[in-house]
Amino acid sequence: MSHLSLEVSLQREMQGASPIIVTSEGNTAGREVEERSQCIIQGLKRLPQCHFSTVQVSDRYLDSILQQIHHQEYLGFLAHWNRALVGEELLFEYPYVDQGIQPDTPLFAGVYDLSREGARTAIAAAQQVVKGASLSYALCRPPGHHAGPAWLGGYCFLNNAVAAVVTLQESGISPVGLIDIDFHFGNGSAAILASRPDVWFGSIHRSTILSYPYKEVQPASDRQTFIPFSHSPSSEEYLSAVDELIKKALDFGCGAMVVSVGYDIIINDPHGGWHLQPSIFEEIGHILAQASIPLCLVQEGGYLLTALDECAYKFGSGLLGCDQK
């Protein structure tokens, strides 16, 4: 039997609006809802080895991390519109976008408050690793991996996964790895980490020509490895890619790993396009656990509400080795 536990950090929920995006077809979609987190919690609650705690991170520490990740004027812009927008008002036009990308994510009342809670949750999960946890999980929203040094997009405003990376580094863990297994490429994470020599970054994603950010991307250095699929990968292809990234992270000497977790790689996800089954997450969990270094999991995408419970349950089962008798 496994004696591992999974420490789950629960976000302090903010009442009010949720992010929406304008899809490539020009339609608006609002699938980044609080119910996503509730579905994932239901899956994790099926695992007795999951321990849940509500986040306790000071505003002062949160700000100290955010200021290392994002430009001050960008944070000021988010803070301003957080209060300036009221009710159902949306702001669609702003300069803070990644190069060559159309603004797709409007700002709304309370946007900075909600995003700060997401980042706070990722920091809390990283602190669990610092305290000695081998597995921690930040159940945060909105996602963060499209948020760059001074830009937002794809539901993302602040980069939660990089906040976890920096928190680990502040505690003296170095180097740190970040592996992104969301369906979409984490353009924000890649950009922020390009200037951090002690962080290894790897991503498996749908071709960035066919999907967000709809442009060619290149690794910034040999500290970054991108594995794009222009077709829907088989489970064998996908798991082989996960294995490859973990081996590279370990070769780099990573003392801990942050994982950007996207449940949008499965069949019928409304923001996806692949045909993988929820059960693949059990295998992904097994492979990650075999790395035998502390893991801080940070929630990114995953929008098929009816499947999130199963995805989370399978992922937790794999991480915890629950099927090993």
Q: What is the mean pLDDT of residues 41-55?
A: 97
Average the pLDDT over 99-128 and give the result. Answer: 96
pLDDT for residue 211 = 96
For residue 121, what pLDDT is reported? Answer: 98
Q: Which two tokens stand for residue 95?
A: 């300069």
Angle formed by the axes of helices 59-69 and 72-84, nearest 10°: 120
Q: Residue 17's pLDDT is what?
A: 73
The answer on pLDDT for 325 being more than 50 is no
- Res. 246: pLDDT tops 60: yes
Residue 104 in this model has a pLDDT that exceeds 60:
yes
| Residue 24 falls in which region: left (phi positive, over 0), alpha (psi -120 to 50) or beta | alpha
State the pLDDT at residue 1: 39
Domain ranges of the chain: 6-320
* Residues 163-187, mean pLDDT to the nearest whole number: 98
SS3 call for 200: strand
Given a cut of 50, is residue 233 above it in pLDDT?
Answer: yes
Summarize pLDDT for 299-312 with one digit per residue, the tens: 999 999 999 999 99
- Tell whether domain 6-320 is in CATH 3.40.800.20: yes
